[in-house]
Amino acid sequence: MDSQLGLIEQSFNNRYTLWVHEALDELPDSFTITDPSISGHPIVFASRGFLKMSGFSRAEIIGRNGRMFQGPRTNRRTIMEIREAIREERPIEVNLLNYKKDGTPFWMLFKMSLVFGKEDGRATHFVAVQVPIVSRKHMRNSGMSYSEDGGGSRLREIVFGSCRREVCSDSLLDLDRVLALDSDDTGLEIEDSCEASDLEKRKAATAIDNILSVLTHYSQLTGRLVCGKRCSLPGMGFISSSLYISLGRIKQSFVLIDPHLPDMPMVYASDAFLKLTGAQIFTKITRIA
Instruction: Encode pLDDT of 205-263 as tens digits.
Output: 999 999 999 999 999 988 889 988 876 555 544 566 666 666 776 778 887 777 766 77
pLDDT at 25: 94
Note the pLDDT tens digit of each residue in 27-72. 999 999 999 988 889 999 999 999 999 999 999 999 999 999 999 9
pLDDT at 232: 57
C-alpha 120: how far from chain center = 22
Max CA-CA distance within the chain? 69
Q: Is the pLDDT of residue 192 over 80?
A: no
pLDDT at 160: 38
Q: How confident is the model at residue 188 (pLDDT cuts 50, 70, 90)?
A: very low
Other beta carbons less than 10 A from residue 60's beta carbon: 14
Q: How far apart are CA 289 and CA 236, in angstroms?
A: 11
User: In 3D, which of 125, 138, 108 has the Cα closest to residue 30?
Assistant: 108
Q: How confident is the model at residue 179 (pLDDT cuts 50, 70, 90)?
A: very low
Q: How far apart are CA 58 and CA 49, in angstroms?
A: 11
pLDDT at 177: 43
Top-confidence residue, 162 or 104: 104
Q: How far apart are CA 163 and CA 194, in angstroms?
A: 4
Report how far apart the first and last C-alpha atoms of the chain are (Å, whole number): 23
Task: Give the burial string for 114-149 (b: 16+ CB within 10 Å, else e).
Answer: bbbbbebbbbbbbbbbbbbbbbbebbeeeeeeeeee
pLDDT at 138: 52
pLDDT at 161: 41
Q: How confident is the model at residue 203 (pLDDT cuts 50, 70, 90)?
A: very high
Strand order of the sheet with strand 134-135? Answer: 134-135, 160-165, 192-196
Q: How confident is the model at residue 265 (pLDDT cuts 50, 70, 90)?
A: confident
Least confident of 44-53, 189-198, 267-276, 279-288: 279-288
Q: What is the mean pLDDT of residues 97-118?
A: 95
Instruction: Specify the CATH class of 1-134+197-234 in words.
Output: alpha beta
Note the pLDDT tens digit of each residue in 130-177. 999 976 555 555 444 444 444 444 443 433 344 443 333 343 344 344
Pairing of strands 134-135, 160-165: parallel
The domain ranges of the chain are 1-134+197-234, 250-288
